[in-house]
Structure 1
Amino acid sequence: MLEPRIHFTLSFTEPQAHYMDVEMDLFDFTETTLDIAMPVWTPGSYLIREYERHVENVEAFSESDRVSCMKISKNIWRIAQPSRHTKIRYRIYGFEISVRTNMINADRAFINPAATFMHVKNCIDLSCMVKIVLPKRWHHISTGLPKNTDHEHTFYAEDFDILYDSPLEIGNQEIWHFDAAGVQHEFAMVGGGNYNKQQLTADITKIVDEETKIWGENPNTNYVFITHNYQTGGGGLEHLNSTVLGASRNAYKAPNSYKNFLCLVAHEYFHLWNVKRLRPKELGPFDYSEENYTTGLWIMEGFTSYYDNLIIRRCGFFSVQEYLDMLANDFNQVYNRPGYRVQSAALASFDAWIKHYRPDENSANTSISYYNKGAMLAVALDLHILTETRGIKRLDNVLRAAYQTFYKKENRGFEEKEFQSLAEIVTGVDLSAIFYAAHSTEELDYNVYFNRVGYELVDLNHDTQELSLGIKIANQEGRILIKNVERNSSAWDAGLNVDDELIAINGNRLDLAGKELEFILQHGQIDEIVDVLVSRDGLVRTIHAPLRRSIKQQWSIREKLDATAAEKELGNLWLSI
């Protein structure tokens, strides 16, 4: 009996209109009906994106004639009476700038496979071939998929999990290659820019080597960096042996922007191990038709967010102070969102599907980022292990052991309790308080950990007398509008609303530069009642609001003046001094 086979062909008859054409050839399927499904999300980006909304003109043909093709749900088409060779044709519209969606134009195409390729339902484990028909003016294809040497511009995927994790950049991108950690790397630069290839190659080689040292091996034979350069760009998405990055094309020569790009590279490359291989059990094998919930993104993304800046420090690109400032920013991001009292890191992970990618005007009051909070918990773990073992072990040792145990030996995802248990066995350190904190809104005293390595976390605004209404405003078409109201602030209690237009305070009309509001806040008194004249849905009213002390926090990490020699030694070890 012949094994079922699937071949895809991508062509571009109208790329200027942002369309590509997809042919899906099914060979040797014996079922009387076949259900063909498209993913509704893409791994690494935890949001139902409804990729099927960009699909048009789905048709099916046998060797001799058209066959019935009926849409039976939002992302599934049913093929009736398929033959030994059934061809399915459809078109995809792609015109969205991001690292997780298709972008097609006259010059190039970025293909996110989850937004492009359908699979036969319940046949995710089948292999497939992908052939690219290049338009005449396009010359390059960059992807982590292995080439089929028997056919030009044709690639092979062992199964659909690999296919959906292997983006393609097609066009005229600048390409160069380099070796790092024994792995062949390709850099594909799209959109031009003022980057220096030699410097990028040297610096990224350091990052690859440093990260490989942590994990003990580099599991790839090849790796592809696809970078999209725009006037203003950012973001990244990890894949099994590639990544897609967003950058600003003319920012490479600005030192801070360049270091931030290196941090992005370090972050996405770290995912090569942490999430793509070492992962919670819920994150693979995937169900591409619905949400895949996990409470573990604070480990996957949070630990990676801790290590990205730390790697840049270890490589010598950040000074000690630059690194400490970046780490302090995680604390500022969390503690200046009242939502940290509402949502734990674990709950933020679980709710990523409904909250993280869908912020609204109240998000700061109800949620936190598992990236930032996870990084805070990661530094607590790292410093706790470092100090309890007197510098012999640290979080690096935990990650390597978990990678070896769960991925290499057992080839499965982990339960969080298993991860904690392994970490405690490897280090001999009780880590329960920190893991408990990941599931609680009770905050750790982080100075318990910083102080033991000769540093302290300080809120520079602790004694400030600055006043605030607890609102964020924006100028919009000549009007001053409230865009955010902080939980438990003066504005919150008084009843000021998002989208209220601020007209005057205490009888003084507000200017667009905000000088009148600034004057009131600088010269007012705590608990002084101010009269705020607003227009709400076209109706003018006065809101009486008390002035209160600003609760904005400004955290800094600095050396502890009375640190002992032993604490300083551990701090130097932590910071690679």
Structure 2
Amino acid sequence: MKKIVLFAAVAFCTFTALAQNPNKFRNSLYYAVSFPNAAHHEAEVMLTIPEAPTGAFRIRMSRSSPGRYATHEFGKNVYNVKATDVDGKPLPVKQVEGDVYEVGDHPDIVKISYTLFGNHTDGTYVGIDQSHAHLNMPASFMWVADKSIANRTIKFEFNDLDKYGWKVATQLKHEGDNVYSAPNMQYMMDSPTELSNVKTNTWEVVNTNGKKQKVGIAVHSDDDQATVDNFAKLVQKVVLEEKAVFGEQPDYDYGSYTFLDDVHPNNFGDGMEHRNSTCIVDRSEKIAGNEKDLLGTYSHEFFHSWNVERIRPKSLEPFNFEHANMSSELWFAEGFTQYYGELVLARAGINAVDDYAGTISGLVNSVLVPPAPQKYSQTQMSRYAVFTDAGVAVDATNYTNIITSYYVYGGATALALDLRLRSEFKITLDDYMRQVWLAHGKPEKPYTIPDLQAVLARVTNPKFAASFFNDYIYGVKKNNYEALLANAGLLMQKAAPGKGWMGRVQGRPVNGGLLITGSTASNAPVYKAGLDADDVILKLNGNDIKDVAALTIAIKDKKPGDKVTVNYKNRTGSHEAIIILEESPVIEVVIYEKAGKTLTQQQKDFRSNWLSSKVK
């Protein structure tokens, strides 16, 4: 198979000439993309549609993007939309919705041109300047909203590469020179493309079936090649550890998988999985000195090449680009990936056990401390992704009390299931994930939650599987993390025992006090005392409160059960209330050695079997 890796584009005249005679591409759709005004974050796009649909048809921008579960208004950054025939004669086109245009009477071949603006480099949007064009496809390219051409081949011509010194990094198939293709729209939309002076490093991985595949990184950053090469060695460790979880790699299309990475302080940090690549965006100055932070995203996103890209929820099939698909399975798709993304770094020796204990603390706190997981199931939190996954709201929300991220909620459940499988059945979560892979991922048969339960029943027994799903997936029961972690010599304890706690307050200084800017948590003393967003705290126990830090200082010597007086005001006037302090529910997880406890041999063996490398 042809590899799709990265190359220095040398010329684009070939495809430009062919664009003048589109019949040579038969009925392929093709885009010519140029950057005459990159300094001002603009691209010019020309879409040629041979054998256009008969009658009036619509073209549109997407409102959702693969790997993102909330809707986004990509149409706002597209303008100067025009339609012409092949000779440039204008055709009737009108905007019928914010992101939808209708082409009227037309010949067989239609050309659509528009200006694309992009100045938000992340895993969803577009970033264009003279250093690069960071193209997430749904945010970049209009498409024909007609089922008759949904499965046509799509060609891309990326122009101005020599002008800016850019190379092309993408999972699109390289056709020659600066021409790339996708077999259909679904694949095209799943193929982020980075045009920049990327530095690359590729290596070969032999799959279990003997097939050789290329894996590589393409990095746009201010690092030198030696830094990129050294970083690639760490990425290789992650790749092999994750392959060991499933026993094999997927058969990547065109025999290649690429990590696309853009690193710069002006970015908006993100990671977004795709079928044969991942788009990673980091806000660091450069890779050098930040390797561990970056590897967490690499590890998470690469695990998605199994879990989500091929072990795929039925609720995400087919992906709808006109609005967000709602899924009840994100606790598994994202949450179990969250768990493995961090676990693999420990197995690869990148993070020490002590560091990993801190990660576990975060997972356990996410389900034991906030109000939401005490009331709402993982399936409900997964469905809320249509509002929370980088979704934008201008009005206030009560997310503090009704939302817990399905990433950490599912990650904490994966942790508990792994430890329970090890202690109760002498198998591991790896064994379960392999069986899910064989049943649904490898044959690419989309799953439902009952399917996941059925696989767990096969590796354990039906009674355990039914109880686990009823209690922890559909229900809100919590696992006994303290006992489970003790099996591996990890101690779970209160983070601030004997200290008075009033709850977290988000706020900003205003004249005369501290304005509470976000909802207070319903299980916190400050909420129970009646304070919430838009109240202005003036004094606490007689101390003037000018900022959030002053709250901490005012109760630093207080104990659980102590009462403090708060003076505050709101639109109804001035008020005084009593806050009864409690002990913080926040816990910490530490290794026995750090807590001065002695590990038994059984605990040493358990920990080693769990956290040691699985690469043979």
Could you state the TM-score of these two structures normalised by the residue count of structure 2?
0.85
Which residue is equivalent to 1:239? 274
1:142 aligns with 2:172: no
Q: Percent identity?
A: 22
Return the alpha-carbon distance in structure 2 between the equivalents of residues 251 and 325 of structure 1: 25
Which residue is equivalent to 1:486? 521
Q: State how many pairs are aligned.
A: 567
Which residue is equivalent to 1:433? 467
Report if aligned partners of 2:132, 2:196 keep a CA contact under 8 Å in 1: yes
SS at match of 1:497: coil
1:129 aligns with 2:129: no
Specify which of 287, 295, 304 is matched with residue 320 of structure 2: 287
What's the offset of the Cα at 1:479?
Answer: 5.7
Structure 1 residues 477 and 331 mapped into 2: Cα distance closer, same or farther (>3 Å)?
Answer: farther
Return the alpha-carbon distance in structure 1 between the equivalents of residues 551 and 49 of structure 2: 69
What's the offset of the Cα at 1:415?
Answer: 1.1
Which residue is equivalent to 1:496? 531
- Counterpart amino acid of residue 206 in structure 1: K
What's the offset of the Cα at 1:20?
Answer: 0.8
Which residue is equivalent to 1:95? 119
Report if aligned partners of 1:454, 1:567 keep a CA contact under 8 Å in 2: yes
Which residue is equivalent to 1:216? 247
- Counterpart amino acid of residue 38 in structure 2: P
What's the offset of the Cα at 1:540?
Answer: 5.8
CA distances 1:328-382 after superposition (whole Å, capped 9, x unpaired): 2111233332222232211111110113434856322111011111111111221
Return the alpha-carbon distance in structure 2 between the equivalents of residues 533 and 305 of structure 1: 41
Match runs of 1:156-555 below 5 Å: 156-181=181-206, 182-193=212-223, 196-218=227-249, 219-220=251-252, 221-231=255-265, 234-250=269-285, 252-254=287-289, 257-358=290-391, 362-390=398-426, 393-409=427-443, 411-428=444-461, 430-436=464-470, 437-451=472-486, 453-455=487-489, 458-461=492-495, 463-468=497-502, 470-475=504-509, 480-484=514-518, 485-512=520-547, 514-515=549-550, 518-520=553-555, 522-523=557-558, 526=561, 528-534=563-569, 536=570, 541-555=574-588
Report if aligned partners of 1:530, 1:546 keep a CA contact under 8 Å in 2: yes
What's the offset of the Cα at 1:494?
Answer: 3.1
CA distances 1:437-479 after superposition (whole Å, capped 9, x unpaired): 122222222345334x344552324742423265334447996
Return the alpha-carbon distance in structure 2 between the equivalents of residues 162 and 101 of structure 1: 17
Return the alpha-carbon distance in structure 2 between the equivalents of residues 162 and 320 of structure 1: 39
Report if aligned partners of 1:180, 1:205 keep a CA contact under 8 Å in 2: no
Return the alpha-carbon distance in structure 2 between the equivalents of residues 407 and 90 of structure 1: 39
Return the alpha-carbon distance in structure 1 between the equivalents of residues 132 and 598 of structure 2: 59
Higher relative contact order (CA 8 A, sep 6+): 2
Could you state the TM-score of these two structures normalised by the residue count of structure 1?
0.90
- Counterpart amino acid of residue 243 in structure 1: T
Specify which of 119, 143, 147 is matched with residue 119 of structure 1: 143
CA distances 1:307-346 after superposition (whole Å, capped 9, x unpaired): 0111111111122222222122111233332222232211
Between 1:226-235 and 1:300-309, the stretch displaced more is 226-235
Structure 1 residues 229 and 415 mapped into 2: Cα distance closer, same or farther (>3 Å)?
Answer: same
Structure 1 residues 540 and 559 mapped into 2: Cα distance closer, same or farther (>3 Å)?
Answer: same
SS at match of 1:522: coil
- Counterpart amino acid of residue 459 in structure 1: Q
Report if aligned partners of 2:200, 2:218 keep a CA contact under 8 Å in 1: yes
Report if aligned partners of 1:270, 1:304 keep a CA contact under 8 Å in 2: yes
Report if aligned partners of 2:496, 2:583 keep a CA contact under 8 Å in 1: no
Report if aligned partners of 1:108, 1:138 keep a CA contact under 8 Å in 2: no
Structure 1 residues 285 and 482 mapped into 2: Cα distance closer, same or farther (>3 Å)?
Answer: same
Report if aligned partners of 1:191, 1:229 keep a CA contact under 8 Å in 2: yes
What's the offset of the Cα at 1:139?
Answer: 2.6
SS at match of 1:496: coil
Return the alpha-carbon distance in structure 2 between the equivalents of residues 517 and 405 of structure 1: 52
Return the alpha-carbon distance in structure 2 between the equivalents of residues 525 and 439 of structure 1: 34
Return the alpha-carbon distance in structure 2 between the equivalents of residues 397 and 270 of structure 1: 15
Q: Which structure 1 segments of 5+ residues have no match?
A: none
Which residue is equivalent to 2:12? none
CA distances 1:216-266 after superposition (whole Å, capped 9, x unpaired): 332222122222212276321111111121224446454xx4322212111
Return the alpha-carbon distance in structure 2 between the equivalents of residues 446 and 571 of structure 1: 15
Structure 1 residues 443 and 469 mapped into 2: Cα distance closer, same or farther (>3 Å)?
Answer: closer
Between 1:556-565 and 1:85-94, the stretch displaced more is 556-565
Structure 1 residues 186 and 514 mapped into 2: Cα distance closer, same or farther (>3 Å)?
Answer: closer
- Counterpart amino acid of residue 384 in structure 2: D
Return the alpha-carbon distance in structure 2 between the equivalents of residues 282 and 72 of structure 1: 29
Q: Which structure 2 segments of 5+ residues have no match?
A: 1-22, 207-211
- Counterpart amino acid of residue 211 in structure 1: E
SS at match of 1:196: helix
Superposed CA RMSD? 2.8
- Counterpart amino acid of residue 116 in structure 2: I
Report if aligned partners of 2:331, 2:378 keep a CA contact under 8 Å in 1: yes
Return the alpha-carbon distance in structure 2 between the equivalents of residues 515 and 416 of structure 1: 47
SS at match of 1:200: helix
SS at match of 1:39: coil
Report if aligned partners of 1:478, 1:512 keep a CA contact under 8 Å in 2: no
Which residue is equivalent to 1:38? 61
Report if aligned partners of 1:454, 1:564 keep a CA contact under 8 Å in 2: no
Which residue is equivalent to 2:4? none
- Counterpart amino acid of residue 275 in structure 2: L
SS at match of 1:459: strand
Which residue is equivalent to 2:109? 85
Which residue is equivalent to 2:29? 6
- Counterpart amino acid of residue 495 in structure 1: G
Structure 1 residues 565 and 524 mapped into 2: Cα distance closer, same or farther (>3 Å)?
Answer: closer
Report if aligned partners of 1:509, 1:516 keep a CA contact under 8 Å in 2: no
Structure 1 residues 26 and 388 mapped into 2: Cα distance closer, same or farther (>3 Å)?
Answer: same
Report if aligned partners of 1:204, 1:262 keep a CA contact under 8 Å in 2: yes
Return the alpha-carbon distance in structure 2 between the equivalents of residues 477 and 227 of structure 1: 44
- Counterpart amino acid of residue 125 in structure 1: N
Structure 1 residues 198 and 483 mapped into 2: Cα distance closer, same or farther (>3 Å)?
Answer: same
Which residue is equivalent to 1:576? 612
Return the alpha-carbon distance in structure 1 between the equivalents of residues 450 and 482 of structure 2: 26
Report if aligned partners of 2:151, 2:184 keep a CA contact under 8 Å in 1: yes
SS at match of 1:327: helix
What's the offset of the Cα at 1:521?
Answer: 5.0
